[in-house]
């Protein structure tokens, strides 16, 4: 009777194994199918078949003779499911946990152990594995999947402990995950073993490449290009898929650029462009390299090519029904040199790098997508760096138009921006309250509107309408001073992609408006009114030397020599102490505007004033 039962059990085991092998072959046929729908249907059918087979196996009490097949089916099921979903889920962790519990059941270790976490279960299973040599190959495959799941979830500490236990080194002496992965030595697969979609050695190779890539990229992002080189070379020398190799070569180029090796950087970027069709990252990195070298022509050519490359749909290959390197890589980091943004963002960079800034390149960025409300687009959060939010693109385009002598076009553009923003101004008190409570982001509308009035004023100056210009500058200042208490309470002025992020930026905007209005008072012969604006600008923005210069000129014209002399000494002290104002936090439109009102004859005037001082005051 016992012999008959054994025969029946062996017959069932053979049938289950045949079904596993058939489903694995079906998945491999689907993988090689050129027809997308047929490929997907075959793979989905294979997945459901593996699910049913696993359900049948786990419906019986755990038994050592069946466990090698059961663990193999579990691994095939997890691999196919993760590859179809292009990611891991909590379900896969539960599948692994269930398999570990089944192994322990055969050792009569039920009970409290089942309440342990995955890492504790692994410790127990790996300790018991020395008594179950027939499970060794299947357990190593399961280790590979657990490692992939933990790597994708960034649970590197748990992964290191698992590999230490697997390698028989529990002293904790080695925490180098790359070394632990290299030390891991999966056993060779037996020739008569059930078919698998991916063996333990294949999983190890993928893990090595993925971890080295992640480590190298993180070192590069955190500013350690020399350390990044070692990990990235490890990736390039391993079994690296071509799409990943393009990114690796680009990252190596970025490392060498930051380390001052432009020729080597260029070689890696050329190699990246030759390796695949994902030309965005290497072209953007090439533009950075040429900018660093001062080759503006080559920089602009790279950016133009990047705009074209981003317009071409990305033709990614169909994923293999395996755990691939790409599956274990982190989502794109906005701080990464491999993040090249959108076509609109690249056009903005290209426009800003042209000298002077090209309004024609900025105009297409102002058009909302078809079917989208323009106000919604305008006030939606900016997509990702590099690139400003939409109101700043309007302002930059207006600046470019004024710089090109097209004041009337600039006024039309400013009116369009005001029509989209001014309606929100009465709601500002409620928006500030929401921001204070943390329920919404900071409202920057008053600052954008005030900057728009500032540019309108400058456009009217260009058209010779002095009274209208003064009115626009006054409106700008009114809005800025209304926003002051809330801005200080929030501790920030702008928070746009390339916008201002400090009180200094708000001060510079106020100073620009006060200086602009003061210059118009000077032009109309009203020096007393100009003096008031220049005095206020010095108080508002004490770090801006231009405010002192305009004030000094006005004091001299009004023959207030003692005050002018005292102010000159203050300017001298600023020069010696290098108290130049920091413009690093200003958006592009404001940097351009400040350059317009910066007097070109400042140094000559200061030297002339110095020589006119009494001898006792002379240096």
Q: Residue 497 carries which DSSP code? A: T
Tokens of 438: 């943390």
Ramachandran region of residue 438, left (φ > 0), alpha (ψ -120 to 50) or beta?
Answer: left
pLDDT digits (tens, 9 = 90+) for 101-160: 999 988 865 444 445 788 889 988 988 877 788 899 999 999 999 999 999 999 999 999
Contacts of 337 (CB under 8 A, 6+ apart): 220, 221, 250, 251, 254, 281, 284, 285, 288
Contacts of 585 (CB under 8 A, 6+ apart): 500, 501, 502, 504, 505
**Whether 213 contacts 244, CB under 8 Å:** yes
Give the count of beta carbons closer than 10 Å to the beta carbon of residue 404: 15
Kindly list the averaged pLDDT for each block of 10 residues, start to end, along the chain of length 619: 48 90 90 75 92 92 91 95 90 93 79 66 86 88 95 92 82 71 90 91 94 92 90 87 89 93 91 81 89 86 82 68 88 77 69 58 48 40 46 82 88 84 55 46 64 92 92 89 51 37 70 92 90 88 80 83 78 53 64 84 70 56
**Whether 141 contacts 187, CB under 8 Å:** no
Burial 263-300 (b: 16+ CB within 10 A, else e): eebbebbebbbebbebbbbbbbbbbbbbbeeeeeeebb
What are the φ/ψ torsions at residue 109 (nearest 5 degrees)? -115, 40
Task: Please provide the DSSP assignment of 558-607 as one string.
Answer: TT-HHHHHHHHHHHHHHHHHT-PPP-TT--HHHHHHHHHTS-TTHHHHHH
- The reply to whether omega before 356 is within 30° of 0 (cis) is yes
pLDDT digits (tens, 9 = 90+) for 537-562: 888 887 777 888 888 888 888 888 88
CA-based nearest residue to 143, from 91, 160, 319: 160
Tokens of 72: 């193999």
For residue 374, what pLDDT is reported? 42
Cα dist. 406→253, 376, 401, 458, 459 in Å?
A: 41, 28, 5, 11, 8
Q: How far apart are CA 158 and CA 114, in angstroms?
A: 19
> Is residue 285 helix, strand or coil?
helix
Q: How far apart are CA 362 and CA 588, in angstroms?
A: 13
For residue 4, what pLDDT is reported? 41
What are the φ/ψ torsions at residue 274 (nearest 5 degrees)? -80, -25
Q: Residue 419 carries which DSSP code? A: H
Q: Helices marked H in 442-582 — which ranges?
A: 445-463, 466-490, 503-523, 527-540, 545-557, 561-577
């Amino acid at each position: 009777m016992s012999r008959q039962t054994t025969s029946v059990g062996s017959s069932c085991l053979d049938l289950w194994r045949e079904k596993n092998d058939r489903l694995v072959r079906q998945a491999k046929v689907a993988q090689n199918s050129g027809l997308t729908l047929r490929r997907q249907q075959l793979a989905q059918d294979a997945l459901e078949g593996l699910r049913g087979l696993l359900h049948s196996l786990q419906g019986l009490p755990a038994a050592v003779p069946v466990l090698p097949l059961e663990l193999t089916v579990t691994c095939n099921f997890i691999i196919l499911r993760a590859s179809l979903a292009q990611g891991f889920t909590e379900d896969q962790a539960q599948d692994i946990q269930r398999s570990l519990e089944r192994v322990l059941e055969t050792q009569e270790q039920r009970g409290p152990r089942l309440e342990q976490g995955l890492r504790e279960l692994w410790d127990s299973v790996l300790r018991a594995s020395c008594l179950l040599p027939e499970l060794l190959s299947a357990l190593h495959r399961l280790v590979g999947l657990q490692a992939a799941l933990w790597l994708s979830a960034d649970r590197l500490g748990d992964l290191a402990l698992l590999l230490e236990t697997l390698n028989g080194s529990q002293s904790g002496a080695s925490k180098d995950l790359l070394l632990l992965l290299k030390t891991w030595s999966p056993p060779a697969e037996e020739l008569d073993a059930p078919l698998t979609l991916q063996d333990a050695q294949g999983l190890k190779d993928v893990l090595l490449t993925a971890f080295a890539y992640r480590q190298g990229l993180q070192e590069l992002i955190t500013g350690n290009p020399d350390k990044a080189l070692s990990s990235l070379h490890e990736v390039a020398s391993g079994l690296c898929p071509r799409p990943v190799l393009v990114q690796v070569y680009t990252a190596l180029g970025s490392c060498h650029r930051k380390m001052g090796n432009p020729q080597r950087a260029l070689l890696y970027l050329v190699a990246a462009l030759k390796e695949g069709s994902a030309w965005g990252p290497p072209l953007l990195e090439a533009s950075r390299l040429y900018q660093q070298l001062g080759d503006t022509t080559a920089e602009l050519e790279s950016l133009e090519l990047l705009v074209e490359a981003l317009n071409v749909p990305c033709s990614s290959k169909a994923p293999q029904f395996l755990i691939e390197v790409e599956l274990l890589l982190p989502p794109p980091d906005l701080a990464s040199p491999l993040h090249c943004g959108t076509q609109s963002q690249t056009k903005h960079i290209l426009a800003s790098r042209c000298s002077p800034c090209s309004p024609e390149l900025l105009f297409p960025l102002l058009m909302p997508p078809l079917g989208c409300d323009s106000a919604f687009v305008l006030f939606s959060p900016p997509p990702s760096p590099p690139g400003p939010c939409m109101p700043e693109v309007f302002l930059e385009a207006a600046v470019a138009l004024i710089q090109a002598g097209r004041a009337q076009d600039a006024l039309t553009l400013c009116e369009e921006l005001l029509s989209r923003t001014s309606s929100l101004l009465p709601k500002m008190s409620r928006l500030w309250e929401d921001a204070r409570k943390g329920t919404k982001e900071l409202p920057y509308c008053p600052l954008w509107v005030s900057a728009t009035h500032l540019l309108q004023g400058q456009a009217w100056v260009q058209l010779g309408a002095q009274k209208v210009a003064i009115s626009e500058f006054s409106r700008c200042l009114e809005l800025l001073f209304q926003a002051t208490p809330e801005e200080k309470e929030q501790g920030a002025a702008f928070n746009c992609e390339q916008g201002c992020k400090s009180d200094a930026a708000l001060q510079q905007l106020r100073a620009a408006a006060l200086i602009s209005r003061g210059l118009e008072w000077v032009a109309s012969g009203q020096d007393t009114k100009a003096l008031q604006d220049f005095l206020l600008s010095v108080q508002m923005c004490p770090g801006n030397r231009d405010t002192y210069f305009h004030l000094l000129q006005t004091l001299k014209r009004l023959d207030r020599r003692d005050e002018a002399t005292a102010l000159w000494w203050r300017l001298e002290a600023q020069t010696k102490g290098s108290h130049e104002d920091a413009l690093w936090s200003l958006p592009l439109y404001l940097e351009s505007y400040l350059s317009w009102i910066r007097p070109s004859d400042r140094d000559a005037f200061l030297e002339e004033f110095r020589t006119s001082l009494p001898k006792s005051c002379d240096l």
